[in-house]
Structure 1
Amino acid sequence: MADFVQALSSPSAWVGVLSLTLLELVLGIDNVVFITLLASRLPAAQQALARTVGLALAVVTRVALLSGIAWLTRLQEPLLTVLGQGLSVRDLILIGGGLFLMVKSVRELSRMAADPLGTGEASAGQVSLLSVILQIPLIDVVFSLDSVITAIGISGNVPVMVTAVVLAMVVMVAASGPISRYLDAHPPLKLLAAAFLLLVGTNLVAEAFEVGVPSAYLYFTMLFAGVVMLFTVRAARTVRAQAVSQALEAAQQDQSERQSG
């Protein structure tokens, strides 16, 4: 413990902590979206618990990854060849995680298309609390694999990396609640979030074959689509309010005409 504290005692170490924390937060956007959508299938009283416990377990998995630095470097060595492409353990993890995300996203999109407001039978059969808690750290391994390898390349200081991971997860826990409530209040944005995860899953599989799109492009695309969706939701709300106001005015005018007649 003393060595851990000593490693964080210099200003350069805290600059590294800040830099890596920001990196984890930027690369963890898709993770927060997945957790939010996954937890939304639970009863409202269990959603916060699932997010908190799931992310706490995710911290454990990330710290374990950081502790196995030598093992992580071996993950990038080719293990087998498929269609002339050498695949490492990292690539296989990306393929498996990407396919899992794609399946989950398609199922979520189908459910939302059948019941956009989440009030009918399509929202029945919700997942269990335990399955959600277990899925969060498992998929976090896929999401965090590249960011952990990048963090090792940038810093290489385990105490700095562990501190950055813990701080980033604290921010994610705090942000997941407001994000979940906002998505619940705006179902079209939840549909967009599921489409974003489908895009991320497809890109993970593509990355395994070295044809993936840089994450910055994906985030910018979805940010632009999200802004457009926000304006669309706002415009639809305004149109709906105007229609209700006009209907009330017409009804009042009709009633006054009947009384005067």
Structure 2
Amino acid sequence: MNDLLALAVEPSTWLALATLIAMEIVLGIDNLVFIAIVSSKLPEHQRSKARRIGIGLSLILRVALLFTISSIIKLTTPIFFVLEQGFSWRDLIMMGGGLFLVWKATNEIHHAVDPFEQTDGKEKRPARFLTAIGQILALDLIFSIDSIVTAVGMTEHLPIMIVSVLAAVLAMLIAADPLANFIHRNPTIVMLALGFLLLIGATLIAEGLGFHFPKGYIYTAMAFSGLVEGLNIMARKRMAQK
């Protein structure tokens, strides 16, 4: 308890906490977009419940991972080399997650472009609830490992990391339904969101292969694309009112 009080009176603690919360919230944008896409495939009465359960379980997963920081850090140690390029478990997880995102986004784009396509003469069934939860948790595991490795480089204090995760997950819970409903009301946003997932997936694959891109560039591009699409939505609404 005394250690926590001593930590709380340090200005550097609050600076580190604010920085980590901002980082976790920004990284959570990826999760929110994916959650919105996955939950939209469920029956309408299950969508909000799936988002809440998925994010709630993600919180438990992230806090549990924080108590295994020493093991998470070891994931960055190369386990084999290909052409003098080392690959760690973290790299393999990043590439696996990137491939999953690329596959998921490509599959959703295909169905969005050709929504009436049928397979073997049968109509496509709604996604299963547990499958959607599993996909949300799987992707959150990938992003959690990446964010924890980044957080360790910013602070060594576990309480700061836990508080930042709690704040970020709370922000996700608040924003999940409004974001998903906004995407549902504006079909053109769906394609933009899928494009974001493709970009994020390709970035994860590149990072796993040893190519590092400043995330600020990626999020700036996403924000600019979102701004342009927002202007398009406003323009269409103005035209419809005339």
> Retained in 1: the 8 A contact 2:41–2:126?
yes
State the one-letter code of the partner of 2:9.
S
Counterpart CA distance in 1 for 2:238 and 2:52 is 36
2:2, 2:183 → 1: CA distance? Answer: 43
CA distance in 1, matches of 2:21, 2:179: 19
Alignment partners' CA distance in 1, 2:188 and 2:7: 44
- Give the paired residue count: 237
Partner in structure 2 of residue 190 of structure 1: 190
Find the counterpart in structure 2 of residue 35 from structure 1: 35
Superposed displacement of residue 18, structure 1: 2.7
CA deviations over 1:55-78 (Å, ceiling 9, x no partner) = 111112211221111112211111
Residues 95 and 240 of structure 1: CA distance in aligned 2, closer, same or farther (over 3 Å): same
AA aligned to 1:72 is I
TM (norm. structure 1) is 0.83
Is the contact made by 1:100 and 1:201 (CA closer than 8 Å) also made in structure 2? Answer: yes
The farther-off stretch of 40-49 and 14-23 is: 14-23
* Partner of residue 48, structure 2: 48
Please state whether the residue corresponding to 1:86 is helix, strand or coil. strand
Stretches of structure 2 that go unaligned for 5 or more consecutive residues are none
RMSD (Å), alpha carbons:
2.1
Whole-angstrom CA distance in 2 between matches of 1:183 and 1:4: 45
Distance 1:46 1:191 in 2: 22
Residue 90, structure 1, aligned to residue 90, structure 2 = yes
Match of residue 23 from structure 1: 23
Percent same amino acid among aligned pairs? Answer: 36
**Higher RCO structure, 1 or 2 (CA under 8 Å, sep 6+):** 2
Counterparts of 2:51 and 2:37 in 1: how far apart (Å)?
Answer: 10
Tell me the secondary structure at the aligned position of residue 80 of structure 1: strand
Distance in 2, matches of 1:236 and 1:191, equals 17
Q: In 1, Cα distance between the equivalents of 2:88 and 2:81?
A: 9
- 1:164 Cα shift? 1.1
Tell me by how many angstroms 1:221 deviates: 1.0
Answer with 1 or 2: which has the greater Rg: 1
Quote the Cα distance in structure 2 between the aligned partners of 1:18 and 1:64: 22
Give, in angstroms, the shift of residue 93 of structure 1.
Answer: 0.2
Which consecutive unaligned segments of at least 5 residues does structure 1 have?
A: 243-261
Cα distance change, pair 187–14 in 1 and its aligned pair in 2 (3 A) = same
Partners of 1:111 and 1:187 in 2: CA distance: 13
Which residues in structure 2 correspond to 1:1-261 (within 5 Å)? 2=1, 6=5, 9-10=8-9, 12=11, 13-115=13-115, 124-242=124-242
Q: TM-score, normalised by structure 2?
A: 0.90
Distance verdict in 2 for CA 1:73–1:218, change over 3 Å: same
Deviation at 1:17, TM superposition (A): 2.7
